[in-house]
Structure 1
Amino acid sequence: MESLCHGLGRVLFLFVLLVLNSSAQYDYTVDENGIPRLWAPQKGLLFHPGDSESASMSDDLAKFLSQDHEPPISRPAVIAFHAGHDASIAIGVAGRVQCVLELERLFEVRYYSLGGGMTLDMSEADFAQAWLFALDAVLSGCECDAEEKCPGSFHYAVLENFEHHEFQMLKRAVEPVIGATKWRLVNHHRAHALLGYYASTFRSAFIMSYDAGGNDGFFNFYVGLGYDVKLVAKIPTNMGMAYNQLAVLLPEVTGAKHYSEVVCGSEEITPLNLPKMVAAMHGVPHTVHDVSRVMLSYAGKFMGYSALGKSDPQSSHWASQFVRNYLQNQTAADEAFAWLRHFACEGTESQRVLAASAQAEWTDLVKEYFGKALYGSMGLLGQAVEGIVLTGGCALNVLANQLIYDTFTQTHQLDLSLPSSVYMPPASNDGGIVVGALWSVVPPLSPQPLQYLGFRLFDLDTLDSTATRRQAERLSELGGVDYLADLLAGGPAWQNQSRSQGQEGRDKPIIAVVLGRQEFGPRALGHRSLLAAPNSQSIRDRMNTLKARQFYRPVAPMIADEALEDLEVFGQEIKSPFMTMAPLVRPHVREHFPGLAHVDGTARHQSVSAEEEPWIHSLLLAVGKRIGLAALINTSFNSKGKPIVNTVKECLKMLDELEDLDFVLIEDWLFRSERKKS
């Protein structure tokens, strides 16, 4: 297995050389009739897993598929499959997305993958059965637009992150179900870019897509003009992987059981043998699949953890050297990593300094690269673009997003030559690739709200009988959102509930809310959320304790638009419907609502309008009447190590087992905890 990891390391280096020598061959062109050629073959970017020692490249998949470029037929039905981590399936009709199934929600496995070289030990029968199970869930549960009939067969099927043998197995399995479709390929970052740009309201945009991988690069820039999206620049550095590798040095981030003996032991550690060390630290098998799943959990924790320390010049220097040289100058990267490793092993204080320094340097480097590419492209275009789109897994880094917004938009800088604002899609992570894949065949005619395109509870048909058996009450009969707001605010409804349990005066409740279709993307946006009032510090700590999360993890406020428009919360009106920004909360607001902000004073907020989510918006306004601010704090409704919940059974299991969870609202049914609180 060690040879496999070294082989993968060589693949990455070959990858960088390929990126450096690549051209616009991955962008579509226009045929003689002016029809965009919206699909392009993946060239030379797949490796044979059976030859891990040499990791030879293969064009087999691209050669297998025909590359005809006939115009799309009228109102085509398209299905897209993404196979790597955050595997997913999406259906679109005539450019409108009908539904997205993120497979981790169905299989209840975080970062679920079903391909992309991660299925080496799966038989074809198991591989086919898993995809068919997911496909059946999509075809039976997809809710299509009122004017559309959900398709049972498809004109096009689009692939992302499949190897050749995986595609062959998928095709044999699903074609009898979806019909004799035309199969297409889409490149990784191009799919990210199409999702971000077409989902925005911008008529022109500068687009940055960056993450820890992709068959077409790591850090790509595009310009969108009308329906045209063109690649304009690539940077051959993998900042996403560099970020995750620095996290290995931070035991409060990784939670590793064997940190000291592995990281601070005598064995040499370099980025190339780091997967072996991660496996040893966590006691998991040394396989690409297991190590990748562990490391994927690092980034979000790292970002929150970085707020606990203050950067210093020396650690900042070496962190910058590592990020800048990763995959470009291996000697320099190894030297920087060795210094950072030694510094981290000095103890917790050093680790927190390292985290703060690394986050600051990483964010500043993103700003530097982005600025050079933006101004260079604007100079070539000879005109400004309307907006900025940030996408890819690294666009989940809200600190970098906020810095780009503050630095490069006319909204903040009052410079009319700059773009007007920044947009990040609700699923900038790899789970969103399938929507970009749909749109690589047929772009949408207008922007479409995407945040609630997931699936209803998979066992929704059991809800009414379960509610009757457990003596749940209908919220609409108790008083609707006003009753729920009164509970959350600690009003008479909550006082009566506490008194009935013999616990008068107990702190305000934490309530899970499970409504309608699930969120599309990694953020809980009020449809699968844990909610609480923000006017105490202890409530944030209770949220983290309930989920068995580290004490430094942030919770995210959801705030009604009206509360943002008076500029009281942030001093500026920053709309962020998908929790993608991190502005500073004003000091007097932090004083009165200490649960609102992270330890660094920022808040990764969700702005909520009546148009985007009327029920949550009305709840926020009702809470505002009681506590003085139309806001709640919110974190995803899931148990430790599991994806966001999507079954009645799991919702109520958590209500029974999580000590600090007081109620679960599922649609109109309010379930009360029967446990006595200590």
Structure 2
Amino acid sequence: MSYHLAFKPAIDLYGQHDPSAALFDDGELVFAVEEERLTREKHAVDTFPERAIRACLEYEGIGLTDVEKIVLPYDPSLRSNILGHYLKNTRQLDSTLRKVSHLQNVARDQFMARFMPTRIVESRLERIDTPVPPIECRSHHECHAVTAFHPSTFEEALVVTIDAKGEYESTVVWHATPGGLERVRTYEHPNSWGLFYAAVTNYLGYRMYNGEGKVMGLAPYGEDNPAIERRLREAIETGVDYDVTSLTGRWGTEHGVDTLEELLGRPPSEPTGEFDQFEKDLAHTAQKLLEESVAELVETYARRLGTSNVGLAGGVVLNCKLNKAVRELPAVDDVFVQPVAHDAGLALGGGWIDQRPADVEPMTTAYWGPEYDSDEIRTLLETNKVAYSEPNDLERQVAELIADGALVGWFQGRAELGPRALGNRSILADPRTEASRDRVNRFVKHREEWRPFAPSMHESAAETYLENATESPFMIDTFDVSQEHRDDLEAIVHPADDTTRPQTVREEQNPRYYRLLEEFENVTGVPVLLNTSFNDNGEPIVNTPTEALKDFYGMGLDVLVLEDCLVTKPASSNTPPARAGETVLADD
């Protein structure tokens, strides 16, 4: 066996958020997990992924010394490409002391990046074991690009990677062939759509790197607003030669927020979660400008490179509305969007970067994290005197409960990697009524009631319920819901534009979840479930049975499924609860 470990730190020279680790055995991905799932801190900001690294090693029962090579998907030496940007920003500081301090930090970082780029990582790894294996640093955006091509089914493709910032890039265009990746064009930081959208997110009262998805969900409630659009277009350039540096040219998003306040003539929004029409129109316009520019870029380079296949990665392409705009372009026939598109996915790219694209298996699931067997779960429930049953027809019973209005926590198999719950760490509900959507928002997720939910459905049903349906196993793309079925799926249709972000499921991808969908269809005639991530507002997706049990009692859920075990709250159970620790087998 030849083990390679790839991980993305979120400290010092390596970025600030979404650390993760992935373990590869003879080039095959065997385990991957995000640090946030283990620390329970959303995005695990400014964190070294020690827990994730230990989890990788424990999964295979090896030590750090059994690892042949470590790959970091970030090359600090490339930071020197934007040294001028760091020095330019020094002049904008408001005191000599701050300028001197900043210059000292820049000098330190440049020295470390050039002469000791891995020293801080080595020192942290030494806490786990010694000697530390050899460490290689690889380009941030190239690792993103690898994840958008190598696990696709494409022989050739245009690949576009878009985020806030790698070492020095914000957007990169690649030509991907069986021989690998060729860089075609680089848009350097701070000319960044990721930072542009983050500034709008902050202006609207949400946090960058956390609230962008909410702004995307808000955008369809807005309308074309000529005044907002004119002011933004006066400040930035869109299209293939875009330039958004009037908002992104300084550190962070503070300058962008101040610029928006001046442009739009009103102060930033308070974080209330409620928006007037102006704020909805701003979200709509920001989304429109993003889609317009990326679509033009993709259209231009797809034709120039002579390929109709497109691969996408980088945090910006978590924007599923953007992915729909790309998929529907005349020049595009097929799109692969890396489901772990944000920085947590870099560990995958680090593990695959030295392999030939053809040697990487196509990515059909994202179930790479920890799992827990039923014996562990029984012990947990019995120790805590939690009544449970183990029905022989678990999927049928849960389907009937959901059809009767129950809100279900569904915990099974290996945890998903990435921001979407795909039927292993999910909250499930009836997709057929607005009341179901509102109950999940209000009593379970404790979030804004205008926010939509996504569905899981049999892949074979997608053509019935979706317009221009394609395989979509990762909830990373958006489709129009067929007009004749919109009233049948009120809980998972975006109220403002009649779209949805589906997960299509084949039996071999997730047999138990497929059976649950099948049983729900047998009960209701609809092979679709509302599926949202199993977590409360502001916390990462649950990782362990203990966390699932805690959230079950802390949220407005009615039923909890932990592998083979079914737990109900007495007030909402349709069957008499078992005694604590008693196993009840339902009739066949």
| TM-score bracket for the superposition, by shorter chain length | 0.7 to 0.9
Give CA-to-partner distance per residue, 1:412-442, whole Å, 9 cap, x none: xxxxxx4530011220111100010111233
Q: Could you say which residue in structure 2 is the equivalent of 1:509?
A: 406
Aligned residue pairs total 506
User: Unmatched 5+ residue regions in structure 2?
Assistant: 11-16, 77-108, 238-242, 574-588
Tell me whether 1:167 sits opposite 2:64 in the alignment: no
**Structure 1, residues 341-361: CA drift from partner, whole Å, max 9, x if none?**
528779822111211122112
1:391 aligns with 2:342: no
Is the 8 Å Cα contact of residues 149 and 176 (structure 2) preserved in structure 1? Answer: yes
Which residues of 2 match residues 41-80 of structure 1 at below 5 A? 76-80=2-6
* 1:608–1:157 CA distance, 2 compared to 1 (3 A): same
Where do residues 220-299 of structure 1 align in structure 2 (5 Å cutoff)? 220-236=172-188, 237-251=191-205, 254=206, 294-299=207-212
1:569 is matched by which residue type in structure 2?
Y
- In 2: Cα distance, 1:345 partner to 1:427 partner: 30
Show the counterpart of 1:442.
Answer: 355
CA displacement at 1:182 relative to structure 2: 2.2
**Number of the residue aligned with 1:472:** 388
- The SS at the match of 1:92 is strand
What is the CA distance between 1:470 and its match in structure 2?
1.0
1:652 aligns with 2:549: yes
Moved more, 661-670 or 386-395: 386-395
Does 2:195 correspond to 1:195?
no
* Residue 550 of structure 1 pairs with residue 448 of structure 2: yes
Partner of 1:350: 278
- Residue 88 of structure 1 deviates from its aligned partner by 0.8
Structure 2: how far apart are the matches of 1:453 and 1:591?
32
Aligned residue for 1:653, secondary structure, equals helix
* Counterpart-to-counterpart distance in 1, 2:234 and 2:4: 45
Deviation at 1:202, TM superposition (A): 0.7
CA distance in 1, matches of 2:214, 2:8: 25
Q: Secondary structure at the match of 1:594?
A: helix
Match for residue 245 of structure 2? 327
Question: Which amino acid in the other structure matches residue 627 of structure 1?
Answer: T
1:12 maps to: none
CA distance in 1, matches of 2:57, 2:340: 22
In structure 1, the gaps of 5 or more residues are: 1-74, 116-129, 144-148, 255-293, 379-383, 409-417, 491-507
User: How far 1:656 sits from its partner (Å)?
Assistant: 1.2
Residue of structure 1 in register with 2:92 after alignment: none
2:97 alignment counterpart: none
Corresponding residue for residue 527 of structure 2: 630
Alignment of 1:488 onto 2:402: yes
Q: What displacement does 1:322 show?
A: 4.3
Instruction: Normalising by structure 2, report the TM-score.
Output: 0.80
Residues 511 and 155 of structure 1: CA distance in aligned 2, closer, same or farther (over 3 Å): same
Identity %: 25
User: 1:230-284 deviations in whole A, cap 9, x for unaligned?
Assistant: 1111234200110110122224xx2xxxxxxxxxxxxxxxxxxxxxxxxxxxxxx
Task: Work out which of the residue numbers 575, 596, 615 in structure 1 matches 2:492.
Answer: 596
SS of residue in 2 equivalent to 1:306: helix
Structure 2 Cα separation of the partners of residues 336 and 547 of structure 1: 31
- Output one character per residue of 1:172-202: Cα deviation in whole Å (capped at 9) or x when no partner: 3425737552211111111000011011011
Q: Distance in 1 between matches of 2:502 and 2:319?
A: 13
Once the two structures are overlaid, the 10-residue window that deviates more, 613-622 or 600-609, is 613-622
RMSD of Structure 2 on Structure 1 (CA) = 2.7
Q: 1:239 to 1:173 in 2, by over 3 A?
A: closer
CA contact (8 A) 2:455 2:492 kept: yes
CA distance in 1, matches of 2:499, 2:65: 46
CA contact (8 A) 1:426 1:451 kept: no
> 1:556·1:634 contact (CA, 8 Å) conserved in 2?
yes
After TM superposition, give the deviation of residue 372 of structure 1 in Å.
2.3
CA contact (8 A) 1:577 1:608 kept: yes
> Is the Cα contact below 8 Å between 2:159 and 2:311 reproduced in 1?
yes
CA, structure 1 residues 167+299, in 2 after alignment: closer, same or farther (shift >3 Å)?
A: same
> Counterparts in 2 of 1:413-432, with a 5 A limit?
418-432=331-345
1:94 deviation in Å? 2.2
Residue among 43, 60, 72 paired with 1:111: 43
- Tell me the alpha carbon deviations over residues 282-327 of structure 1, each in whole angstroms, 9 at most, x when there is no partner: xxxxxxxxxxxx4211101100011222121221222344453422
For residue 549 of structure 2, give the secondary structure of its aligned residue in structure 1.
helix
Superimposed CA distance per residue, residues 555-602 of structure 1 (whole angstroms, 9 cap, x where no aligned partner): 1111101112xx321232222111111111122211122112012211
Cα deviation code 1:529-550 (max 9, x no counterpart) = 0001111111111111111111
Q: 1:212 Cα shift? A: 0.8
Cα gap change, 1:166/1:134 in structure 2, threshold over 3 Å: closer, same or farther?
farther
TM-score by length of 1: 0.70
Match of 1:140 in 2: 58
